[in-house]
């Protein structure tokens, strides 16, 4: 079986891919929360809840999509 992933080095591991994805999700929504705090004047507690909940929801859906995709490839 030929591996056609374009990444090299330690990013070839599925666990590393997952952590990179989670890191990008958290980084993006943290940035959005900071903009929300400074631009719209929301309190820090609201901003932290917003960033945390959005990060968890997106990470859950990405993980579900990846599991479904790997299940289809395994068939």
pLDDT in tens, 10-59: 445 677 777 787 788 888 888 888 888 888 888 888 888 888 888 888 87
pTM over 0.85: no
Q: Is 75 helix (H, G, I), strand (E, B) or coil?
A: coil
pLDDT at 59: 79
Model confidence band, residue 1 (pLDDT cutoffs 50, 70, 90): very low
Q: Is the dihedral of CA 33, 34, 37, 40 positive or negative?
A: negative
For the cut 80, the answer to whether the pLDDT of residue 8 exceeds it is: no
pLDDT at 5: 52
Q: Which CA distances in Å does 54 have to 26, 29, 30, 72?
A: 9, 7, 9, 27
Q: How many CB atoms lie within 10 A of CB 66?
A: 14
């Amino acid at each position: 079986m030929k591996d056609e992933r374009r990444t090299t080095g330690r990013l070839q591991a599925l666990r590393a891919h997952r952590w990179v994805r989670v890191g990008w999700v958290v980084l993006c929504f943290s940035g959005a929360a900071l903009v929300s705090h400074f631009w719209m004047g929301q309190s820090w507690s609201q901003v932290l809840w917003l960033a945390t909940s959005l990060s968890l929801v997106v990470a859950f859906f990405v993980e579900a999509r990846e599991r479904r995709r790997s299940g289809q490839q395994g068939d």
